[in-house]
Structure 1
Amino acid sequence: MSKTISGLQYDRKTKQWSIDKRIKNHGRIRQRLKATSTEEAETEFYRIIADLQVSNQRTQDGIMTFNEAATRYVNESTKRSLDRDIVTINLAKGFIGSLTLSQIHMGTLQALIESRRKDGIRSATVKRDLAVIRRILTLAARSWRNNDGHAYLSCPPLLEMPDWEDSAIPYPLDWQEQQRLFEALPSHLAAMALFAVNTGLREQGVCWLRWDWEVKIPGLDTSIFITPGRKRTYSDGVWPGEKNKEDQMVVLNRVAKSVIDAQRGKHDEYVFPYSGKRITRIHNTGWKNAWKKAGLPKSGEYNRGPHNLKHTFGRRLRNAGVPLETRKVLLHHTNGDITIHYSPAEVSELIEAVERIVDQKPSQILRRVG
C-alpha cells in the first residue's frame, strides 16, 4: 500500500486482510476480508465502512431496512416458535430484505406470495409467513424507537391474507381404517397411535410424554398425565409447552391405560422411547408408508398426518353422546373457564366419557365422493 489506512490490517503469517476499527455511532468492527491483494483489500475496506455509515445514518434518520428489522426481531424475540419465524425471515430476505420498511406493502410482497404458490405451498402457510412480516412491521411502528424517539414506521400496512381454498380436510378414521393403519405401522408407532386415538393428545404431546408427568388418582386405581403448559428444558431438548400455555390433563380409558402399562420399564424418562431415545415425531416414513399400505387417501385434499387421530377421538366422543363442554375439556380446547384443578369425582366423570369410545359401535362416516 502506498500509505497506511487506519483499521486495515494484514497478517503476514496467515496472509489475510482484516478490519479492526471503531465507527462513529456503530462501535468497533472486527472482520476478516476476502481480498487477496492490496488493491482488493482497500476496495473491500472502504465498501464495508461506507455500508456501515449509510446504515447508521438510516438508523439516525429513523429509517430501517427489512434485513435490519428482522435481525432486531430475532435478537429480541422470546417466542417459542422463533425457529419457524427465522425460516420465514430468511425466505423473505430474498424478496424484500434491502427494502426500507416504508417500501413494504402488498405490491412489493406479491412476488414472494406468487413464488410460494408456484412452489405448491398452501395458503395457510403463506398466511403464517405474512403474519411474521406483519409482526415485524407492527413492532417498528408501535414499539421500536430510534435515537430521537421516533418510530421507524409511521403506520404498518394492511396485509391481505391469501385464501386459495386449498386447506387439507381432516380425515377421521372409521374402525376398519384404524385397524388397517395400525396393523401396517411399526410396533412403536402403533402404540403411540393407539394412545393418541384414545386420549386426543396431539403428536408432540405423545412424543414428549414423560413418566414424571403422571399423577396417581387416589381411590380410582388409575392415573392421569398433565402436560406442562409452559416451556421446560430437559437434558435432551426443550419441551415447547402447549399452544395455549395452559397445563393439559390427559385422562385414560382402559385402552390407553393398557398402552401405558405396557410401556412401563422401557425408559426412565419417556413413555414412548425408541432405541433408548425420545421419538421426535410420529409423522415419519413409517407412518407415511403405513398410510399408503392401509389404502387411505393419497391426494393432498385430505390431511394424512397423525392429527387425524385427534379428529377421530373428537368425532367418536360426539357419536357417543358426550356433552360439548366435556368434549372441550378432553380435546384441550380452552374456553376461558377451564382449570386443571379437578377433583377425583370430576376426573372420574371424564374417564367415564372416554370409556364410551372403547367399544367399536357402528358409525358411518359420510365423505364427499370425487
Structure 2
Amino acid sequence: MHLKQLDPFIGALPIEGVHMGSLQLFITARRGQGVKSKTINLALGVVRHILNLASTEWLDENSLTWIESASKIKLLPQTDARAPYPLSWDEQTRLFSELPAHLWRMALFKVNTGTREQEVCQLRWDWEVPVPELGTSVFIIPGGRVKNGDDRLVVLNRVARSVIDEVRGRHPDYVFTFEGLPITRMNNSAWRKARIRAGLPGVRVHDLKHTFGRRLRAAGVSFEDRQDLLGHRSGRITTHYSAVELKNLIDAGNKVHGQKSRKSPALFLLKRNAG
C-alpha cells in the first residue's frame, strides 16, 4: 500500500536519488489530502527500511551492496496526532446499538479487554489457555502478532467471557468470523456508518482500548495491573502468572462494570474538555 502511494513521486528515481529532498513532494501531497503525520511516517519508515537493506544486505552480481550508504530518512513530528476519545457509557450504548451483530461482539470484547484491532481480528482458539484453578481461561497472543513484539496476555472479565462463550464452536480456528470467514478489520464501512448514525463520527476503533484504560483507572485499578490488562510493555515476563495473580487481574477487569466506575466524575471532565 505505501509503495503504491510513493510510486508516483519516487518510482522513476534511481535508489541513490531517494532522500528527504525527493520525498518532499510526497509529504506535501499527503498533508494536502489531510493525512496525519503518523500515517505519512509509516510510508517513510518503509523507505528507510528499503534503503537500509540496500546499503547492508542486498548485493549485486559483484557481491557489493546496492548503495554505499543509506540516506537518512527523518520521520515527521506527530504534533497533529488526534487525542484519545474514551467513550461514556451512554455513548457506548448508542454506538453499539448501531453495529451489526458480528461487529457488536468484537467491539464488546475489545472494550472489555483493551485489545488492539488486529489482536481481536486475528484471535484464534488455539491461543486459549485454560486456567482450571479458576474455572476460566485466558488467551495468549504470540509476540509476532503483537505491536510491541511480546506475548500478549488477554484476561477475560465477565462480559468478555460471555462473548467468548457465545461464539465458541462457530469456527474451528478463528474466534470472530462473519459468514464463516475471519474478519480482517473492524474499521470498515459498517463501523463508519454506525458511528455516524450514533452521532459519534470521529470515534475510532482504537478508542475502545482507550475507553477500557480510562475505566480501569477510574475504578482505582493500579498502574501495574492496568499495564498488564492493556498489554503494555512492562519489562516483566507477562505470561508467567500464578492463579492468584490471574484472579487479581480478572477482578480488576470486572471493576469497570462497578457502579462507582460508571459514575466517575474524572471521565466526565475528560470528555467535557475533549470538546
Q: Fold-level match, TM-score > 0.5?
A: yes
1:329–1:338: 8 Å Cα contact kept in structure 2? no
Task: Provide the rounded CA distance (Å) in 2 between the counterparts of 1:285 and 1:112.
Answer: 27
Task: Provide the rounded CA distance (Å) in 2 between the counterparts of 1:105 and 1:152.
Answer: 15
Identity %: 48
Q: Report the counterpart of residue 132 of structure 2 in structure 1.
A: 218
Task: Provide the rounded CA distance (Å) in 2 between the counterparts of 1:259 and 1:135.
Answer: 40
Task: Provide the rounded CA distance (Å) in 2 between the counterparts of 1:256 and 1:89.
Answer: 38
Matched, 1:315 2:214: yes
For 1:109, the aligned partner's letter is L
Q: Report the counterpart of residue 186 of structure 1 in structure 2.
A: 100
Q: Report the counterpart of residue 184 of structure 2 in structure 1.
A: 280
- Could you list the runs of 5+ residues in structure 2 that have no partner in the other structure? none
CA RMSD of aligned residues (A): 2.2
* Alpha-carbon distance, 1:147 to partner: 4.8
**Superposition pairs of residues 122-141 of structure 1, within 5 angstroms:** 122-141=36-55
Which structure has the highest strand share of the two? 1
- Could you list the runs of 5+ residues in structure 1 that have no partner in the other structure? 1-86, 231-240
Classify the secondary structure of the residue corresponding to 1:243. Answer: coil
Aligned length: 269
Q: Decide which of 22, 25, 33 is 1:108's aligned counterpart.
A: 22
Q: TM-score with structure 2 length normalisation?
A: 0.88
Classify the secondary structure of the residue corresponding to 2:129. Answer: strand
Which structure has the highest helix share of the two? 2
Q: Decide which of 219, 223, 245 is 2:149's aligned counterpart.
A: 245
* Alpha-carbon distance, 1:197 to partner: 0.7
Q: Report the counterpart of residue 168 of structure 1 in structure 2.
A: 82
Structure ID, larger Rg: 1
Task: Provide the rounded CA distance (Å) in 2 between the counterparts of 1:96 and 1:340.
Answer: 44
* Alpha-carbon distance, 1:311 to partner: 0.6
* Alpha-carbon distance, 1:145 to partner: 4.2
For 1:111, the aligned partner's letter is L
* Alpha-carbon distance, 1:176 to partner: 0.9
Q: TM-score with structure 1 length normalisation?
A: 0.67
Classify the secondary structure of the residue corresponding to 2:231. Answer: coil
Task: Provide the rounded CA distance (Å) in 2 between the counterparts of 1:179 and 1:311.
Answer: 16
Task: Provide the rounded CA distance (Å) in 2 between the counterparts of 1:359 and 1:274.
Answer: 32
Matched, 1:337 2:236: yes
**Superposition pairs of residues 141-156 of structure 1, within 5 angstroms:** 141-148=55-62, 150-156=64-70
* Alpha-carbon distance, 1:163 to partner: 3.7
* Alpha-carbon distance, 1:95 to partner: 2.1
For 2:192, the aligned partner's letter is K
- CA distances 1:228-260 after superposition (whole Å, capped 9, x unpaired): 223xxxxxxxxxx22233321111111111222
Q: Report the counterpart of residue 252 of structure 2 in structure 1.
A: 353
Q: Report the counterpart of residue 205 of structure 1 in structure 2.
A: 119
Classify the secondary structure of the residue corresponding to 2:246. Answer: helix
- CA distances 1:322-359 after superposition (whole Å, capped 9, x unpaired): 11111111111113323312221211111111111122
Cα 1:145–1:210 change in 2 (3 A) is closer
1:253–1:358: 8 Å Cα contact kept in structure 2? no
2:219–2:258: 8 Å Cα contact kept in structure 1? no
Task: Provide the rounded CA distance (Å) in 1 between the counterparts of 2:184 and 2:36.
Answer: 24
Task: Provide the rounded CA distance (Å) in 2 between the counterparts of 1:140 and 1:279.
Answer: 35
Task: Provide the rounded CA distance (Å) in 1 between the counterparts of 2:59 and 2:130.
Answer: 52
Q: Report the counterpart of residue 263 of structure 1 in structure 2.
A: 167
